[in-house]
Amino acid sequence: MTSSDRIKLYPAKPEKVYFFATCLVDIIYPEAGLSGIELLEHAGIEVIYPADQTCCGQPPYSSGYINESRAVATKQLALFPEPWPIVVPAGSCAGMIHRHYPELFAGTPLAEQAEQIARRTWELTDFLVNVCHLQLQDRGQPRRVALHTSCTARREMGAADAGPALLRQLQQVELVEQARPTECCGFGGTFAVRHAEVSGAMVEDKLQALEDSGAEHFVTTDCGCLMNIDGHAEHKGSPVRGQHILSFLKERCL
Question: pLDDT tens for residues 117-173?
Answer: 999 999 999 999 999 999 999 999 999 999 999 999 999 999 999 999 999 999 999
Measured CA distances, 69 to 59, 73, 87, 96, 141 (Å) = 8, 6, 21, 11, 44
Architecture of domain 143-253: 3-Layer(aba) Sandwich (3.40)
Q: CA–CA separation, 231 vs 146, rounded Å?
A: 17
pLDDT given at position 190:
82
What pLDDT, on the 0 to 100 scale, is given for residue 1?
Answer: 42
Q: Pick from 178, 243, 162: which is nearest to 215 by CA?
A: 178
**What is the per-residue pLDDT for 189?**
81
Question: What local confidence, expressed as pLDDT, does residue 2 receive?
Answer: 43
The pLDDT assigned to 191 comes to 87
For the chain, give the percent of residues with pLDDT over 90: 93
Q: Residue 184, class by beta-carbon neighbours within 10 Å (0-12 exposed, 13-18 middle, 19+ buried)?
A: buried
Per the prediction, the chain carries an average pLDDT of: 95
Q: Which residues of the chain have pLDDT under 50?
A: 1-5
Q: Which CATH architecture best describes the domain 14-130?
A: 3-Layer(aba) Sandwich (3.40)
pLDDT of residue 7: 67
**What CA–CA distance (Å, rounded) separates 65 from 8?**
29
Question: What pLDDT score does 6 carry?
Answer: 56
Return residue ranges of the chain for CATH 3.40.50.1860. Answer: 143-253
